[in-house]
Amino acid sequence: MTLSPLEAGPREFTFTDDDFRNLAKLARAEFGLSLADSKKPLVYSRLARRLRARNVASFRDYMTLLAAEAEGEERLELVSALTTNVTSFFREKHHFDSLQSELLPQFSQQRRVRIWSAGCSSGQEAFSTAMTLLTAFPDAARRDMRILATDIDPAIVRKARAARYPLEERAAIPAALQSRWTVTRETDPGFFEMAPDVKALVTFGELNLVEPWPFRGPFDAIFCRNVAIYFDQETQQTLWANLARMLREGGLLFIGHSERVSGPATSDLATAGVTTYRKRPGRDRPATN
């Protein structure tokens, strides 16, 4: 996820400093988002459409609406409006190269393999991981190799589950993998789908990373890329520590190009490449949120 660009324009709604602070407080409490004062114009531009969609006259009224217990879906619309899911197949290719060279040789000796795509967006990251596994292990499903893919946004999770993408995105997939692991249909021009074997390896779900996680791992690899950039330092450090605890010894954590692991997690994680960290030996502990 990356912050959406700001498009300047005349203000349709009054948006006071108090309105911004209240929204920022809610975003921090519910989702861990850190909104600096400099983001006030961006917040206005992204949320004005939600006020229109809900026929709300002011940001103060919108805050009242968000506070209602029955408006859980609107609170998710809030976080979706403040973030944009930008991704592509095999984005940051060096991470998939590391997965292939560092972990796949070990997987041939394992009875169970688990990989987590945390903040999976519309699924390209998880499916890129699945294609990487299947290229080395065509019988990956029989070998009990599975990928968990989670995101906070229900709409983007539904899109990921559909595994259907505009045809132009297919160019990012290596040609040898395109022919083997993607499907085009004459009845659906302009789009392609992931092959059934690819889809079968991935389980999608909704998850807010700042709330308790309903699983315990361990994972052999975790992709959590361009998510922590939204959090303040304290929340980032809590996230890194919990991700580290979810990794098995020797497992890899892949993060975004502008992110760096900091805080207590540095005791558990050693640098293993560009924006790649390895779980140190003797550091297995249960995750706590």
Strand 247-255 relative to strand 276-279: parallel, antiparallel, unpaired? antiparallel
89, 194 contact by CB (below 8 A): no
Residues with a catalytic annotation lie at 46, 151
Give the model confidence (pLDDT) of 50-97 as tens digits: 999 999 999 999 999 999 989 988 988 898 888 867 789 999 999 999
Check the CA dihedral 140-142-145-147 and report its sign.
Answer: positive
- CA-wise closest residue to 288 among 212, 210, 208: 212
Give the model confidence (pLDDT) of 93-125 as tens digits: 999 999 999 999 999 999 899 999 999 999 999
Give the model confidence (pLDDT) of 217-251 as tens digits: 899 999 999 999 989 999 999 999 999 999 999 99
User: How far is Cα of residue 232 from the mean position of the Cα atoms in its chain?
Assistant: 17
DSSP-based helix, strand, coil % in the chain, nearest 5: 45, 20, 35
Residue 134 has pLDDT above 80, yes or no: yes
- CA-wise closest residue to 279 among 205, 212, 217: 217
- CA-wise closest residue to 243 among 188, 232, 262, 14: 262
pTM of the model: 0.85
Q: Residue 12: what pLDDT?
A: 85
